[in-house]
Structure 1
């Protein structure tokens, strides 16, 4: 097993997670309103989904891949509606008094909601197939151990991004008043809702 596959996976995972889309907006908002732990755990939901799709691509599970792609419209519909729902919930939410209020069931809900949202975007798997093919998938040196290392790297790389984002954003949390956080919630909600509407419009 070559450690280079782990390093490549780290880079891929970090790169996949870094673009600020609806997931990033949600995690930033949750970090500001509920604390760094909630923001980070939300990001772990996305990292877990990335690892699952990375695993499917790395191990060549063509049946599952074909099924996900064939159900793209339904998954996009579900994902779009869920984005709209999260946008409304974010818009209406009130800032938490302190980060300690985010634990237990709240953390599980934060994790599962982002995991579900990320996993309803099966086109991510095409990205992983393309990247993995370009860096060694299918070559004689790419075996089961290499695939495991790469998928592990994808998860760790993605998690590293969400950790950096949540801790970075949390440094500014104390500079915002409750009124400011409320407006951030509203703005974040509108943006996330907009992503949902855009996803639904693409189905037409």
Structure 2
């Protein structure tokens, strides 16, 4: 299906990086696990935990992209596309509020075990923890719709976009473990909640801006497949 607008690969790559960061940044169970392992076992054990989560997110991104590519004919209708973007803004707003208000440490058991386990074991367990939460697909659907990320019948361009998602996620986990390792002497559970509030605030602000822009027709998504 031809696209009437020029596909900017660099723009798609940047969108992928941003999606990867926004999907990884909320401090859920795997985020807490990453911080705990960085503090208790060392930075690279924490980073490998992030790699496991990144792999799970990538699989869910592929599933989300595949599902959305089948409904692009539906989305090509301007009215339906408008509804989709409004819905995506609401989903992101609710997610931002949840992230801002949540306490990720509430139901997390803090382990005092000294056993490190192998790097592979740490990565696999993080993958399983992340993959056990299919609700991540809802967040990805909202982000994909907001950024007009899906471009059917353009496998090379989409491969670049998905590479961006991996790069963004890896960038987040690398930066998080570096920061926690540098300030390990003063980092505690309050630091985890602060990260959640910052991430939640960014998502809330972004979703409100996009929602207002959509409602008042301040901008529109590119027309698809006419």
TM-score of the two chains, using structure 1 as the length reference: 0.63
Is 1:112 matched with 2:132?
A: no
* Correspondence for 1:91: 111
Alpha-carbon distance between aligned partners in 1 of 2:150 and 2:46, rounded to the nearest angstrom:
37
Provide closer, same or farther for how the CA distance between residues 139 and 36 of structure 1 changes in structure 2, counting only shifts above 3 A: closer
Large movers: runs of 4+ above 6 Å: none
Provide closer, same or farther for how the CA distance between residues 138 and 156 of structure 1 changes in structure 2, counting only shifts above 3 A: closer
Query: What are structure 2's unaligned runs of at least 5 residues?
Result: 1-6, 71-106, 190-226
Is 1:38 matched with 2:50?
A: no
Query: What are structure 1's unaligned runs of at least 5 residues?
Result: 64-85, 97-101, 188-204
Is 1:171 matched with 2:182?
A: yes
- Across the aligned residues of Structure 1 and Structure 2, the Cα RMSD in angstroms comes to 3.1
* Correspondence for 1:160: 171
Q: CA deviation at 1:87?
A: 4.9
Provide closer, same or farther for how the CA distance between residues 3 and 106 of structure 1 changes in structure 2, counting only shifts above 3 A: same
Q: 1:24 aligns with which of 20, 28, 31?
A: 31
Deviations 1:164-196 (A, max 9, x none): 0111111134x48xxxx9xx7xx8xxxxxxxxx
Alignment of 1:38-187 (within 5 A): 38-60=45-67, 87-88=108-109, 90-94=110-114, 106-137=118-149, 143-173=154-184, 175=185
Q: CA deviation at 1:62?
A: 8.6
How many residues are aligned here?
Answer: 149
Provide closer, same or farther for how the CA distance between residues 138 and 18 of structure 1 changes in structure 2, counting only shifts above 3 A: closer
Deviations 1:94-149 (A, max 9, x none): 3x7xxxxx5xx611111011101111111111221222123224557x72222212
Q: Which has the higher helix share?
A: 1
Alpha-carbon distance between aligned partners in 2 of 1:44 and 1:135, rounded to the nearest angstrom:
24
